[in-house]
Amino acid sequence: MIKAILIDDEILALKQLSKLLNKVSEFEIVGSYTEPLPAIEAAGVLKPDIIFLDIVMPEMNGMQTAEFIQQVSPSSHIVFVTGYDRYAIDAFEMNALDYVLKPVQMNRLTKTVNRITDRLLSSDEQQTGALEKKICCFQSLRPEMVHRSHGHHERTLPFRWRTTKAQELFAYLLHHRNRFVNKDTLIQEFWPDHEFKKASTYLYTTIYHIRQCLKQADLEITISNVSGGEGYMLNTNQVQVDVDMLEGGIRALGAVTKLNITDHRQISDLYTGDYLAEHDYFWAESERHRLRTVWLHHAAMLADFYSNHDMLAEAITMYKRITQFHPYYEDGHLGLLQAYASAGDRMAVQEHYQHIEQMYSAELEIPLPEFILQWYYKWNSSQDAGMLTEFRA
């Protein structure tokens, strides 16, 4: 499927183009936007194959929008769609794939689709073995190299830190990525008991080791000495961070629908555990709690969507994932019990109920929450009544 984003300040124009593209089986419209800024953010996260972009828009025109898109998603191809032909030269100077005049006709769009298909096939051949790089912060701090060709394969390579101090300092700078961090703050955080001059030397040496480690890992992450030597700034450049991918993806995709549920699930799967869970950094605790809440809200939204659309296998998988990562998330346990019940799996309901009952008793020394007890009592009573009716029949 060819993933497409549509950008036009006119809602009717968006609907017309979307209607035409839906007749073409190769296309999956992953986003439609009437404003450039959210569209740019979405492009950076979703990395669409093609972007249909209006030129004449208020605040930021299509040419300016295209420049920003090329920065955040350089592999995306752009097709300008406009009611004016006077921008054609400028459009093709920006290496646009096509330039289509409104109102868009199906026969003209077919030519554009053929051009898109040819270009994407050509790009696939040229990019075989290409690498995308990201830093993972969920569960543990690690780099991942994603090989993209006809499929994709992830290869995780551990960092080779000389000291645990270097690892934590890198994590701290990454935590404050793309922002200035004062040198005094770093010294107070990492060498509070040392004389300032000696601590400054330790800081300089540790920064040097971090840069060497990043170089060995082949990551284009830079740590710059800024503000006249008063502090440092870590820039991720083209290297993605799973935390940003998760939050940006959730914002860009918006409400869960049948069209974007697969993308939502891929975004959710980025979460492999709490933020820096394997590293006991006290300064990461508030962010750990915040990101846990963000993921739980999103995961519960997906699980509810699956349940409400009778996709019970997917709902069960999602609720299991929620309760695996966060065993005391009560709504997750209730959702899993209800999904088992809807699937008609009585044994699974009973086994999971007994599991959480024992967990609460042994680990927390408290009874199950009242709303779970009430649900189970009603469900169990309905099962007993059903069995009695069946027996009498």
Task: Check residue 147 and give its pLDDT.
Answer: 59
**Helix 183-190 × helix 164-175 angle, to 10°:** 140
Q: What is the C-alpha to C-alpha distance for residues 307 and 366, in angstroms, rounded to an integer?
A: 29
Q: Where are the beta strands (DSSP E) in the chain?
A: 2-7, 27-33, 50-54, 77-82, 98-101, 130-136, 142-148, 152-156, 180-182, 222-226, 231-235, 240-241
- In this structure, the number of other CB atoms found within 10 A of the CB of residue 277 comes to 16
Give residues with Cβ within 8 angstroms of 112, minimum separation 6. 79, 97, 98, 100
Structure tokens at 87: 């921008």
Statement to judge: residues 185 and 271 lie in one domain: no
User: Are 210 and 166 within 8 A, CB to CB?
Assistant: yes
Among 126, 146, 172, the domain-final residue is 126
Stated as kind and residue range, the H or E segment containing 12 is helix 11-22
Which domain-ending residue is among 111, 126, 141? Answer: 126
Total domains in the fold of the chain: 3
Would 351 be classed as within a structural domain?
yes
Residues of the chain scoring pLDDT < 70: 25, 87-95, 121-131, 146-157, 384-393
Domain co-membership, 271 together with 230: no
Q: Tell me: do 269 and 185 sit in the same domain.
A: no
Predicted local confidence at residue 216, as pLDDT: 84
> How distant, in Å, are the alpha carbons of 32, 103, 220, 349, 393 from that of 5?
6, 18, 28, 42, 58
Residue 339: CATH number of its domain:
1.25.40
Q: How far is CA 99 from CA 83, 85, 111, 337, in A?
A: 10, 9, 11, 53
Write down the pLDDT at residue 75. Answer: 81
Give all strands of the β-sheet with 180-182 in edge-to-edge order.
Answer: 180-182, 231-235, 222-226
What is the DSSP code (8-state) at residue 369? P
Q: Are residues 114 and 166 in the same domain?
A: no
The pLDDT assigned to 228 comes to 72
Is 337 in the same domain as 225?
no
Residue at token pair 């040229």: 126
Same domain, 105 and 9: yes
Let me know whether 116 and 53 are in one domain.
yes
Residue appearing with tokens 């968006």: 14
- In angstroms, the CA 272 to CA 87 distance is 47
How does DSSP assign 162-189, residue by residue?
S-HHHHHHHHHHHHTTTSEEEHHHHHHH
Measured distance CA(388)–CA(365) in Å, rounded: 35
Instruction: Choose one of 73, 108, 126: the last residue of a domain.
Output: 126
- Asked whether 80 and 96 are in contact (CB, 8 A), the reply is yes
Distance between CA atoms of 157 and 155, rounded to whole angstroms? 6
The phi and psi torsions of 282 (rounded to 5 degrees) equal -65, -30
| Per-residue pLDDT, 386 | 58
Same-domain status, 214 and 316: no
* Adjacent-strand bridge partners of 154: 146
Judgement on whether residues 261 and 386 belong to the same structural domain of the protein:
yes
Q: pTM of the prediction?
A: 0.71
Q: Where are the beta strands (DSSP E) in 215-326?
A: 222-226, 231-235, 240-241
55 and 99, same domain (yes or no): yes
Residue-level pLDDT at 139: 94
* Domain-embedded: residue 167: yes
Query: Are the C-beta atoms of 104 and 236 separated by less than 8 Å?
Result: no
Q: Largest Cα–Cα distance of the chain, in whole Å?
A: 89
Q: What is the CATH number of the domain that holds 46?
A: 3.40.50.2300
Q: Token match 């929450």: residue?
A: 369
The b/e string for 118-153 (b: 16+ C-beta within 10 A; e otherwise) is eebeeeeeeeeeeebbbbbbbbebbbebeebeeeee
Domain limits for position 42: 2-126
